[in-house]
A and B are shown apart, each in its own frame.
Chain A
């Protein structure tokens, strides 16, 4: 479709004067840069902060939990500084379409994985850099369901959130519209939404077509999934035009085109446009307090220097391992005894099979197709539910997972991998109940910075095992119906959740329903660590929605206090 038509047809793509000729555009950009080199964010030297300045809001982490609130608070006119442990990248020139070369996107500091189902970190779920883990998320952005927030009410097990889905819905809507989520309207498992997705779904790849075909035979409803990657060119306030997804299939190792709505191409540029200052390569080691227990600032390492930044309010958005790790290291907000407790990881069972069809699993958005018929299956013997999705996969990721499960070696290993182009997978993501045996603690082993490594205990309990069995059974049925041979299952746990729970009581939770720490009046926590329950869907969209909500709650309190 020509650009002119897109411009005229879609109110979401407002016409703005734009230079169409790419050469002229490039020349003008270069001229501007020469006239004012400070416009080039990549060439900015690390700022030397004024040691006496007290900023309104200091944010640790620039991923899904941090970025939306950084933008919101800056838009509200506050002085906002964000600290990101990783680097700022230019995806267009720096990101290779090569899995090994992209390993810099992952939080590779070693964590110790304990318990009967030790959780893989690094590329499995933990990112670093300007944009955090969204640099490597698949962009799969289903909304949570009403019941996901009320497990205890519904089942008498698990924990309710301190508010209902209606608190999140306006923010889901806002995030979806802002990011440019591509998805089906109406949404088959939630048809009554006030607003549909701003863009049509992305095209289905081979794995998605196989799943669609088989589910149709079995009477399972499917739909193209909601993905925060653009199915058409999209205009974003504060960012400009982002181009449509080219089906590179490489979301989990970094999008080089800007089509995927990672924070580096969405909320963070908006935040900077409104004056937020984002310091990269800034690794926080200490959180300082005064005699009244208020946070006064943080100390961080940057380029070999130790820097102190003072603040009026601190927002901790470092994810469900680094957030409790910082709290434990600084003995902060520990009165409830809940910091580090109730670590949860999504049930993430995968089933793979070999097909006669040519699939080429490296093409297309990885999570093309979804079914949420398993949100509350009639024959469930477990609490909660899960979603089903088709998955595309890159060769190194596939091969390393496969050998961990199947232990193939020698010629049979090379022979199996020759079928890579004929292999397709499906996957579930499902609830995980909080359990006292699953938690994060500081170990005695120190990392290269001299900071204790976190040890993460995780054992899938009875409920997770039941869900695993249910999910494996359904996925095997689907893959058999799709014509797969050599079907095998991979039990895995994805997404890190819990560890600084939100709740209504200071004896049972770390933060209140607004995200403010019960023990520390000017400390807010906003990331997957505050989730009281794991949800039956991928967490990213909910983390972003919660981020905007936390910012709004903060702004309201601030206004009320005058």
Chain B
């Protein structure tokens, strides 16, 4: 499994290899405050969302984890859409309310405790059930759990891999495109493309 050196994307952002528009988009994410007050979710539901996100994208290697829940909270507050929704799903705000509530119901049914106080192993068991569409809980009668898991997973994934440090983790430097790419074939790298460690 490849590993790439740290600090490469941050360094590239300071060069002329990145356009001002690209730099603005990426720096906004890099410098986003680590403190976020939820505006759509109530405090408890937001903590639950954070706890779920932390199991889907565990980041024990990072001193300051990439925050994923704010993107969802902001989107639901604004009522932004991405062009489509499964017809079998309720509107997004309702889907998240029902889905997160359903995760808590599953935690209570299995372990008689809310999700946020479970240890990581037990939280993972609940996510495992959800991913297999086998989680208990009355909310799932109103919400197809496989689709909810898919949608939440995709949204968390967009938030994670849009972050410059997550892009650095996978060796992506496509943002440094001002000079274009001349070496594009197999095993052909340009000097600004980091080699695997």
Contact with A along B156-197 (1 / 0, CB 8 A): 011011100001011111110101111011111100010010
B174 near A249 with CB under 8 A, answer yes
Q: Is B85 an interface residue (CB 8 A)?
A: yes
Q: Is A87 an interface residue (CB 8 A)?
A: no
* A98 CA / B150 CA spacing, docked (Å): 23
Query: A398-450: which residues lie under 8 A (CB-CB) from chain B?
Result: 399-400, 403-404, 407, 409-411, 413-415, 417-422, 445, 448
Q: Which of A121-129, A233-241, A524-532 contacts B (4 or more CB under 8 A)?
A: A121-129
* A114 CA / B85 CA spacing, docked (Å): 9
Q: Is B77 an interface residue (CB 8 A)?
A: no
A118 near B87 with CB under 8 A, answer yes
Q: Which of B20-28, B36-44, B108-116 contacts A (4 or more CB under 8 A)?
A: B20-28
Given the interface contacts A96-B25, A99-B162, A113-B84, does A407 sit within 8 Å of B179 by beta carbon?
A: no
* A464 CA / B128 CA spacing, docked (Å): 32
Q: Which of B21, B80, B85, B170 contacts A421 (CB 8 A)?
A: B170
Q: Which of A98, A203, A249, A413 contacts B22 (CB 8 A)?
A: A98
Given the interface contacts A209-B186, A358-B186, does A409 sit within 8 Å of B153 by beta carbon?
A: yes
* A205 CA / B185 CA spacing, docked (Å): 5
Query: A332-362: which residues lie under 8 A (CB-CB) from chain B?
Result: 357-360, 362
A362 near B158 with CB under 8 A, answer no
Q: Which of B82, B158, B184 contacts A364 (CB 8 A)?
A: B184
* A101 CA / B85 CA spacing, docked (Å): 21
In whole Å, how far is A72's beta carbon from the nearest beta carbon of chain B?
Answer: 30
A98 near B25 with CB under 8 A, answer yes
* A103 CA / B82 CA spacing, docked (Å): 8
Query: A99-124: which residues lie under 8 A (CB-CB) from chain B?
Result: 99-101, 103, 106-114, 118-124
* A204 CA / B186 CA spacing, docked (Å): 9
Q: Is A157 an interface residue (CB 8 A)?
A: no
A455 near B181 with CB under 8 A, answer no
* A395 CA / B158 CA spacing, docked (Å): 9
B83 near A107 with CB under 8 A, answer yes
Count of chain A residues near B, Cβ 8 A: 70
Q: Is B135 an interface residue (CB 8 A)?
A: no
Q: Is B30 an interface residue (CB 8 A)?
A: no
* A363 CA / B180 CA spacing, docked (Å): 9
Q: Which of A114, A250, A363, A399 contacts B161 (CB 8 A)?
A: A399
Q: Tell me what chain B mostly uses at the interface: helix, strand, loop, or mixed.
A: loop
In whole Å, how far is A321's beta carbon from the nearest beta carbon of chain B?
Answer: 10
* A246 CA / B19 CA spacing, docked (Å): 14
B2 near A422 with CB under 8 A, answer yes
* A205 CA / B186 CA spacing, docked (Å): 7
Question: In the complex, what residue of chain B is closest to A416 when comparing beta carbons?
Answer: B1
Q: Is A285 an interface residue (CB 8 A)?
A: no
In the complex, which residues of chain A have a beta carbon less than 8 angstroms from the beta carbon of B173?
362
In the complex, which residues of chain B have a beta carbon less than 8 angstroms from the beta carbon of A250?
174, 177
In whole Å, how far is B193's beta carbon from the nearest beta carbon of chain A?
Answer: 6
Interface centre among B58, B154, B186 (most CB of A within 10 A): B186
Given the interface contacts A101-B25, A399-B161, does A112 sit within 8 Å of B85 by beta carbon?
A: yes
Question: In the complex, what residue of chain B is closest to A126 when comparing beta carbons?
Answer: B83
In whole Å, how far is B130's beta carbon from the nearest beta carbon of chain A?
Answer: 9
In the complex, which residues of chain B have a beta carbon less than 8 angstroms from the beta carbon of A93?
20-21
Q: Which of A400, A403, A415 contacts B1 (CB 8 A)?
A: A415
Q: Which of A96, A247, A358 contacts B189 (CB 8 A)?
A: A358
In the complex, which residues of chain A have a beta carbon less than 8 angstroms from the beta carbon of B169?
414, 417-418
In whole Å, how far is B82's beta carbon from the nearest beta carbon of chain A?
Answer: 5
In whole Å, how far is A114's beta carbon from the nearest beta carbon of chain B?
Answer: 4
* A360 CA / B176 CA spacing, docked (Å): 13
Q: Is B79 an interface residue (CB 8 A)?
A: yes
Q: Is A256 an interface residue (CB 8 A)?
A: yes
* A415 CA / B196 CA spacing, docked (Å): 14
Given the interface contacts A118-B86, A399-B161, does A360 sit within 8 Å of B127 by beta carbon?
A: no
Interface centre among A124, A248, A403, A417 (most CB of B within 10 A): A403
In the complex, which residues of chain B have a beta carbon less than 8 angstroms from the beta carbon of A123?
82-83
Q: Is A396 an interface residue (CB 8 A)?
A: yes
In whole Å, how far is A499's beta carbon from the nearest beta carbon of chain B?
Answer: 16
B186 near A394 with CB under 8 A, answer no
Q: Which of B55, B58, B87, B172 contacts A420 (CB 8 A)?
A: B172
In whole Å, how far is B15's beta carbon from the nearest beta carbon of chain A?
Answer: 14
B182 near A98 with CB under 8 A, answer no
B22 near A409 with CB under 8 A, answer no
Contact with A along B124-135 (1 / 0, CB 8 A): 100100010000
* A414 CA / B56 CA spacing, docked (Å): 9
* A108 CA / B162 CA spacing, docked (Å): 19
Q: Is A198 an interface residue (CB 8 A)?
A: no
B19 near A120 with CB under 8 A, answer no
Q: Which of B79, B84, B182 contacts A120 (CB 8 A)?
A: B84
Q: Which of B55, B79, B88, B154 contacts A410 (CB 8 A)?
A: B55
* A363 CA / B187 CA spacing, docked (Å): 12
10 closest A-B pairs by CB: A122-B83, A246-B180, A362-B174, A114-B87, A101-B25, A121-B84, A110-B81, A96-B21, A100-B162, A364-B184
8 contacts between A and B (CB under 8 A): A99-B162, A108-B83, A203-B185, A247-B181, A358-B188, A358-B189, A409-B131, A410-B56
| Beyond A113-B86, A118-B86, A413-B56, 5 extra complex contacts between A and B, CB < 8 Å | A98-B25, A114-B88, A118-B87, A363-B184, A409-B56
- A interface list, Cβ under 8 A from B: 93-101, 103, 106-114, 118-124, 126, 203-206, 209-210, 245-250, 256, 357-360, 362-364, 394-396, 399-400, 403-404, 407, 409-411, 413-415, 417-422, 445, 448, 455
